[in-house]
Every structure is written in C-alpha cells, then in structure tokens.
Amino acid sequence: MKKIAVIFGTRPDTIKLAPIILELKKHQKDFSVVTIATAQHRQMLDQVLDVFKIVPDYDLNIMQAKQTLASLTQKIITALDEVLEKEKPDMVLVQGDTTTTFVGGLAAFYRNIPVGHVEAGLRTHDKSNPFPEEINRRLTSCVADIHFPPTATAAKALQKENIAKGSIFVTGNSVIDALQIAVNQNHLFSLPILNVLTAQKRKIVLLTMHRRENWGAPMKGACEAVKDLAKKFPDMNFIFPVHLNPVVREIVYPILGKSANISLIEPLDYLDFVNLMAKSDLIITDSGGVQEEGPSLGRPILVLRNVTERPEAVQYGTVKLVGLEKKNIFSAAAKLLTDKKAYRTMAAATNPYGDGTTAKRTVLAIQRYFGLTKKKFIPFTPR
Ligand code: UD1
Ligand code: UDP
C-alpha cells in the first residue's frame, strides 16, 4: 500500500486534480490518499471542493488579500513541510504551474519524496509569459520524478530538457475528465440570472481575465475592446465572471461596470461556468484551462495573450491568439459575431487535450512506478 499526497491550492489545479483524486481513491488496495489544500485561493478553491465533494485532510488556509509571490512561497513551504514530515507519503502529486505546484514539488524534494507532475511540459520558452507560471512549471520539472504531459508536444519539450523518456507518460489533460463530469445539457444554473440570460434568444459572449503579465495597460485595453463590442452589439449578452484578485477587479469594474448588456458577476462555481461555456457563442479569455475546455465544447476562443503553451487547439483552428491590442480584439470578435462562415470554421468541436481517461492513465502510470501492475500504459493520442 503506497501513500500518495495530493497537493493543490487554486481553482485550476484543484479542478484538474479532482478526477485523479477520485480515481486514486477507487484503488484502495494499492493506495491511501492524503489531500492537502494550501488554500492559496480560498473562496475559489472552496467552490471547486464543493462541486467534487472533496474534503481536504489538511487545509493550510494560507490565503491573504493581495498576497505577494514571496509571502505565498514562504508560507506554503513552511506549512507543507510540517505535513510532509508527519505523513511521510511515498509520492507527492502536484499539478500545473501555480506557486502551490512549484513549492509543493520543492517541499517534497527537500524531504526526498518522489514527485509526480500532472500537466507537465507546457512551455512558451519566455520566462515572462506567462508570469510567473513559465518558471513555476520549469522548476517543477526539475524536481519531478514522474511527468504526466497532456500531449505529445509537451512530452517532446520535456525530452528536449533531457528528462528521461521512461519517466514521461502522455496522459491527456484531466481537465477533460472534469468537463465530462460537469457538462449536462439540462443544467439548471445555481445563479438565477444565468437561467434568465441563457433563455433569451440573444448571443452570449463569455469573458474571463486574470493573468499577471496582462495587469495594467494591456488588461485595460482588453476591457476597452469589450466595452466597444458591447456597444456595437447591444442585442448580445456579455457575461464576465470577474476573478477575485483585487488587482483585476480594480481594472475591470471602472471600465465595464456601467454597460447595460455587460453582466459583471462573481466567479462561478465550476458547474455553472462550464455549462455557461457550452451555451456561449464566443469566449474571450486569458485563462489556460478555458483554452483547453473550449475546443472540446466546440466554442470559438479568442485568447488575450501573445504566446501560448497550448498550441494544439490553435493548430486545430478552434483557438486564436489575439493579443492585448484593443483594435485586434475588437476586430477579431466582431468578425466572428457577424461572419457566419468565419464562425463555422472556428466552431468545430475537437479534442486535442483529452478523451476523459486522463485520471485512469495517470493512476496506471503511478501503479507501474511502484511495480503494482504490469498492465501496459497506452499514451493519449487525439482522436
Ligand atoms: C493564481 C495563480 C495562477 C493561476 C490563477 C488561477 C500563482 C502565482 N498564480 O493567480 O497561475 O492561473 O491563480 O485563478 O500561483 N483571491 C481571493 N479569493 C480567492 C482567490 C484569490 O480573494 O479565492 C484574491 C486574494 O486577494 C489573493 C489574490 O486574489 O491575494 C491573488 O491570488 P493568487 O493565488 O496569489 O494569484 P492569482 O492571480 O489568483
Ligand atoms: N472557471 C470556473 N469559474 C469561473 C471561471 C473559470 O470554475 O468563473 C474554471 C474554468 O472552467 C477552468 C478553470 O476555472 O477549468 C480555469 O481557471 P483560471 O482561469 O482561474 O486559471 P488558469 O487555467 O488560467 O490557470
């Protein structure tokens, strides 16, 4: 019996680890599971835990308003070390590229505990984009012993960094496992206004923004573009669940707060969010996870970034990078909202990131790592 400690702390890493936690728990003969929430996020983490009915064994409760990267790092490593010393797990699992991810990996490394990295190998090769995530994931690769890249492209990036091929398992992305659990054609929104807005025969444009490298002028420019779009298309509903980061809110509310057809709302719980994605005509976002979910739902995505570590859906044509220039965002969105042919070209559903079996693949790779099974590992390939 091996003890696996799963460390998470923000909205996206928790959404993507939830299916893996649930799968690990199905293998009671092989694994005991210890769940550790750093609570780098608080409300946005709790929303995810509620949806997946996960009650962490440890909740480090470290979030503070307007926390700095340094204070986060220091608090997480100190609190995690105590838990790892007590629990002595056989492996630590972390996901993605947040501060919780990197520091979770480092804390395990300091205690000589093997590290498994879920969603490994994403790279832009630009250390400022995304900031600080590009460095978080590179550093996590340095301390990881077993790597779970979602795609063949991500696996190649790891091999280029001389990571042993035998430690790399292409699993797909567990965000698609989560999505398959969450999307339901008959979903009744827990936020009543969404039932009203989605029942109207009006197009829906869904927005999210939060990236640190976009704070300030770039994010302001993107908001101005959205304000102009809402003015040009008064018969469409623009819905924007605003991230709880105060820096983001201080930019978004003054620019977009007074437009009649823009609904600025609180972050949605995961079920409401993905089911709203499924009912949206266009999604404009700088989110990593949303870029992965959109293609699977056949929703065109305009990405508010200049580079992406998720090139697959751009190649498939469902995702387009529009950067942060106001006029580029406006013209790309206006074209999709008026030109049916351009819209149809982008709206085809594709699955470059997963087929819903990533958690199973990940758990199988961990069983093989510990010699618990001889079952063959079959890498994920897009259909
Ligand atoms: C973090 C991650 C980022 C990820 C994003 C997902 C780092 C450095 N950043 O960015 O990679 O893409 O989460 O959303 O790991 N806040 C709340 N309640 C919450 C969450 C946040 O009030 O539930 C506020 C707090 O004031 C907090 C601030 O937002 O101090 C920033 O949170 P933090 O986790 O440091 O950064 P994010 O911008 O959320
Ligand atoms: N999401 C959510 N509620 C929202 C907005 C997003 O549940 O109001 C989900 C979304 O479906 C995706 C994840 O949060 O799975 C993305 O998180 P975020 O954009 O905060 O972080 P990133 O993926 O950019 O790191």
- Sites in the chain below the pLDDT cut of 70: none
| Helix, strand or coil, per DSSP, at residue 296 | helix
Query: Which DSSP symbol is given to 84?
Result: H
- Give the chain's mean pLDDT: 97
Residue ranges lining ligand 1, Cβ < 6 Å: 10-12, 40-44, 63-67, 69, 72, 97-99, 132-133, 210, 244-246
- Give which of 287, 220, 230 is closest to 251, Cα–Cα: 220
Listed in sequence order, the residues at least 6 apart from 258 whose beta carbon sits closer than 8 Å to its beta carbon are none
Alpha-carbon distance of 157 to 160, in angstroms, equals 5
User: Among 243, 305, 310, 361, which one carries the catalytic annotation?
Assistant: 243
Ligand of minimum distance to the alpha carbon of 44: 1
Q: How far is the CA of 10 from the centre of ligand 1 (A)?
A: 7
**Could you tell me if residue 182 is inside a domain?**
no
Q: How far is the CA of 67 from the centre of ligand 1 (A)?
A: 8
* 383 flagged as catalytic: no
Reported as a single tens digit per residue, the pLDDT across 6-65 is 999 999 999 999 999 999 999 999 999 999 999 999 999 999 999 999 999 999 999 999
Neighbours of 378 (CB within 10 A): 11
Helix (H), strand (E) at residue 47? helix 43-52
> Given 3-state DSSP classes, what are the helix, strand and coil percentages for the chain, each rounded to the nearest 5?
50, 15, 40
Ligand of minimum distance to the alpha carbon of 209: 2
Q: Both 104 and 222 in a single domain?
A: no
Which residue type does 227 have? K
Task: Give the sign of the dihedral formed by CA 52, CA 56, CA 61, CA 66.
Answer: negative
Q: Both 358 and 342 in a single domain?
A: no
Ligand 2, atom nearest to 211 Cα: 24
Q: Both 260 and 114 in a single domain?
A: no
* 202 flagged as catalytic: no
Q: Quote the pLDDT of residue 195.
A: 97
Reported as a single tens digit per residue, the pLDDT across 279-291 is 999 999 999 999 9
Ligand of minimum distance to the alpha carbon of 242: 2
Alpha-carbon distance of 18 to 88, in angstroms, equals 22
* 177 flagged as catalytic: no
Q: Quote the pLDDT of residue 276.
A: 98
Q: Quote the pLDDT of residue 349.
A: 81
Residue 290 vs residues 40, 175, 223, 263, 310: alpha-carbon distances, Å:
20, 9, 18, 19, 11
Q: Quote the pLDDT of residue 346.
A: 94
Token output for 132: 């600080």
**Could you tell me if residue 381 is inside a domain?**
no
Domains held by the chain: number: 2
Domain residues for the domain of 245 are 190-347
**Could you tell me if residue 185 is inside a domain?**
no
User: Among 119, 134, 272, 292, which one carries the catalytic annotation?
Assistant: 119
Q: Quote the pLDDT of residue 350.
A: 87
What DSSP line would sit under 251-265, residue for residue?
HHHHHHTT-TTEEEE
**Could you tell me if residue 376 is inside a domain?**
no
Q: Both 103 and 123 in a single domain?
A: yes
Q: Both 212 and 164 in a single domain?
A: no
Q: Both 288 and 148 in a single domain?
A: no
Report pTM. Answer: 0.98
Which CATH number do you get for residue 270?
A: 3.40.50.2000
